[in-house]
Amino acid sequence: MFIKNECNIIIDTSSILFGFANGKDIFELIKINYPNCKIIISKGVIRELNNIAKSTGRRGVYAKTALEAIKHKSIDIINDNKNVDEWIYKYAQTTKAKVVTNDTELYKRLKDLNINCVKMTISGMLK
């Protein structure tokens, strides 16, 4: 488990796929913008990416690319079997981690809970 005062950034499936769909590596963008932060995803994100990777088409390719990138990056993967969104809510509240998501519904819910979150733009900015 992480110490509350550490800089932790949770990434959800939507932002990972959005980044690769727009030619951006979300993991590298976070390292550039938040160089002293740990990147965190849950096993649920891996599970979602694996399911999407089974499909044909662009989303499947983006998911496969993301899974390959995750293998070669310094990313903390939390072993958790909960629903990904529910895990994000609980983990972000507990650790005060920032969340990167491009899921509009999740973003709004996180903001309503006063959880620090950002979206990735097409140009690769995090705001």
pLDDT at 2 over 80: no
Q: Are 77 and 41 in contact (CB under 8 A)?
A: yes
Q: Which helix (H) or strand (E) holds 35?
A: none
Average pLDDT over residues 23-44: 95
Q: What domains lie within the chain, and their CATH numbers?
A: 8-118 (3.40.50.1010)
Specify whether the CB–CB gap between 42 and 71 falls below 8 A: no
Q: pTM value?
A: 0.92
Return the closest-CA partner of residue 10 out of 123, 83, 115, 124.
Answer: 115
pLDDT band at 1 (very low <50, low <70, confident <90, very high): very low
pLDDT digits (tens, 9 = 90+) for 55-113: 999 999 999 999 999 999 999 999 987 899 999 999 999 999 999 999 999 999 999 99
62-69 long-range contacts, CB within 8 A, separation 24+: 62/17, 62/20, 62/21, 63/17, 65/20, 66/16, 66/17, 66/20, 69/20, 69/25, 69/27
